[in-house]
Structure formats: C-alpha cells, structure tokens
Structure 1
C-alpha cells in the first residue's frame, strides 16, 4: 500500500470520504481547506484521510475512511499513523480528531493510536447534520473530541 497526497486537480474519492462523513457539503468545505491523502493498492484508492490546520501548531484529522472490503485488516491504523507522521514532519505540535459517540470502533482505534479524550461537543451531529445518523444501533448525537501531543 502506498499513501500519498492527492494531487491538485485530481478527482476527490468522494464515495470513500462520505463513508466517514455523510455530508457532501461539509466534506467539500474541509477538503478545500486541508490536505487530502489517499492510500492506493494495485492502482486503486482504498483509503483516505484529511488533515486540516486549525490553529497555530495544531492540525485536525477530519476524515479517515477505508473501503469496506479492507475493513479489519489494519489499514485504518496505518492511515492514522501516517497522518501522525505527516503532521510531525510539517511541524505540528498537536493533532486533534473528533468522532461520533456511536463510532465505537473508531474511538477504540484512535485511543490505540495514542489519542486521549479531551471533551464532548454535545448534540454536534444534531445541530450540523440535516439527517439523523445511526451507527451500531446508537444515534450519533455528540462529537467525542480526542487529542495527541506530537
């Protein structure tokens, strides 16, 4: 697997990005402000993440997605660890990430990668998304915020 920055003018892997965030408008907005990275295997895009500078020396990992056929094979962890390395190389001191209260596997993954829970944005997904979101039989209401010193 090769991970690289998406080239200027290259088509966004929107279907993949929408696996992690169901709002096309929100995805387009943060991709335009950040850097999109793709993972390729056999000349196919199989994973994606987006780094978004938020404050001086702070970057947020705003989208991590892997094609369904590759779930459970450690690719998500490889993407998160790559994002951490890229952020360090770019000189960031802190990386943040947010995920839904219903995103149980993602919460576990991020903590395994060294992130710690620092807060909760109550009703974030109720306020910012027009449709209800359900994962694992749980309504996604709150944004769980995590952070890591780099």
Structure 2
C-alpha cells in the first residue's frame, strides 16, 4: 500500500453517519465522543472506499485547535495511517491560520505519546485523575491503569 496514493482523507458530510465504532477505539465513552463531535469537524481516511481511520478536531480559541480523537481500524494499525492522519490535521490547521494545535491522551497510551512527539508535539501538562473522574469504568492499556491525561501542544 502506498499511503500517498491509496489513502484519501476527507471531511464527512452532515448526512453521513459518524464512524462511532472507530472513534470509540480511541475513546471508549460514546457520551464523551458525542460531546466533542457536536462542536468539531470529523475527517475520515479511506482506502478504496473503506474507512480505515478518523480524526475529530475543533477550535478551542481563535488561535488554537484541538484534535479530540484520532483512531485507526485495528486491521490497519502499524502502517503509518495514524501519523498520516495527524499530519493532515497539523497541515490543514496551519494553512487555516491557527498558531497552536493541542492533543490529549492517557498516561497509559505509550504508542500515542511516542507518535505525537515524533510529529512535533511537546508535553505541556498533566491533568491528574481525568479518566477516573470522567469515565464510569477503569481503562487499562499496556497493563497500565489510565488515570491521568497528558496534554501535548505543537506550534504551527
């Protein structure tokens, strides 16, 4: 697969169904996903018409955008699609005139923390107990209890 020619990213249309199954791979709370979908844009990555990835981004100030969710279908993970989606967001919002892009992830999200830093994000702060305070069930990744949110920023 050649990501440059086989993968296409586009904004979903209002009449289309949001790929909730994909979004809940990255955020297990459908209620949380619905809360940020209402104020955001949703982009899907497709290969030969199949949705293989998604990201959701929204403005948090006139200069700052946040990527609320980014996910890749499990059978397509490890192929660079997540990085491609992330770079699409960075490039798209830089061209739109934003100065900063933010993203948050769990303390247990080791792969995501590595990816975000490779793309140019830097750790900014920790929100202690974010996931224990805002989610009904405990989340475990990589054998680690996901309790705190790590916030990262990237200058555009």
Match in the other structure for 2:139:
133
Q: Which moved more, 1:85-94 or 1:72-81?
A: 85-94
Confirm or deny that 1:34 pairs with 2:34: no
Q: Output the CA distance in 2 between the equivalents of 1:10 and 1:88.
A: 26
Structure 1 residues 76-121: Cα deviation after superposition (integer angstroms, max 9, x where no partner) = 0000000001111221110000000000000000000000001000
Alignment of 1:99-114 (within 5 A): 99-114=105-120
Q: 2:129 aligns with which of 123, 129, 132?
A: 123
CA distance in 2, matches of 1:20, 1:89: 26
Q: How far apart are residue 32 of structure 1 and its match?
A: 1.1
Unaligned stretches of 5+ residues in structure 1: none
The gaps in structure 2 that reach 5 residues or longer are: 1-6
Q: 2:102 aligns with which of 96, 103, 117?
A: 96
Shift of 1:55: 1.3
Q: TM-score, normalised by structure 1?
A: 0.98
Matches within 5 A, 1:1-150: 1-150=7-156
* Alignment coverage as a number of residue pairs: 150
SS in structure 1 of the partner of residue 137 of structure 2: coil
Cα distance in structure 1, aligned partners of 2:148 and 2:123: 13
